[in-house]
Each structure stands twice: as C-alpha cells, then as structure tokens.
Amino acid sequence: MPQQTPDVQDGGYRQRRRGVRVNSRVPVAVEWTQPDGTAQRQQAYTCVIGPYGCLIVLPQELKLEQRIQITNLINQNKVDAVVVWKGNHRPEGWELGIELQNPQMDFWGLELM
C-alpha cells in the first residue's frame, strides 16, 4: 500500500507513491475466484501503470481487497495483485486501483523506476 507521511500544513496525512506513474493503455487479463469457487477471467486495459500498481478498467465489478492475478497480454508476464481502490463506473467498466504483489521490475516491459 502507499506509504503515508504527515502533512505539516493541514495536520492530516498524504500518500507518497512508490515509483513513477505513466499514462499507458496496456491490455491485461484479470483472473480471480468467485466465492463459490469458480474461476473467472476477463480482459481489461490499464489507464495508468507504475512499478507497484496500476489503474485498470474492467467490465466486472470487484470488491476491495479482492485477490486477483494480472497478465500483461503484450509480454505474457503474470503477477498476483489486490484491488485497493474502486472508482467510478464507466460505460466500458469499473475503474479499479490495483496493487501488484512482489512484481518483477520488467512486468510492464518498461523501465519505470
């Protein structure tokens, strides 16, 4: 999860992100297991990528803290991930913030450090 640091100006907290974020549309496959044990897989795309996470648009709504697996459909790299943010519903699907679990630094095929 993003680290939180005190914000001296307002006494609250602000989030500090790890690594660079880049606007990039990458086709991905998202896989997860339903509560009844059935495996699901849907294609999605990213809007923003970073070394430790991404923002995707997925036709299926997922719950916060849902454990998933992301496959980069360009290079076939796979990584376990967790849904950490749920945004708005767009005509093409739900905006979801994804945290990658122990990602390889070349997962996206780009140098993002």
Tokens of 99: 């945290």
2-11, 21-30, 36-45: least confident range: 2-11
Euclidean distance between CA atoms 11 and 61, whole angstroms: 35
Query: Tens digits of per-residue pLDDT, 72-112?
Result: 999 999 999 999 999 999 999 999 999 999 999 889 987 65
Tokens of 29: 């496959």
Domain presence at residue 8: no
81 with 101: CB under 8 angstroms? yes
**Prediction pTM value:** 0.81
Domain presence at residue 113: no
Burial 35-63 (b: 16+ CB within 10 A, else e): eeeeeeeeebbbeebbbbbbbbbbeeebe
Domain presence at residue 1: no
Domain presence at residue 3: no
DSSP string, 34-57: -TTS-EEEEEEEEEEEETTEEEEE
- How many independent structural domains does the chain possess? 1
Domain presence at residue 6: no
Residue 93's domain is classified under what CATH number? 2.40.10.220
User: Which range marks the domain in which residue 72 is found?
Assistant: 19-100
Domain presence at residue 33: yes
- Would you state the pLDDT for residue 12? 42
Domain presence at residue 107: no
Domain presence at residue 49: yes
Helix (H) or strand (E) holding 14: strand 13-16
- Give percent above pLDDT 90 in the chain: 72
Euclidean distance between CA atoms 45 and 68, whole angstroms: 15
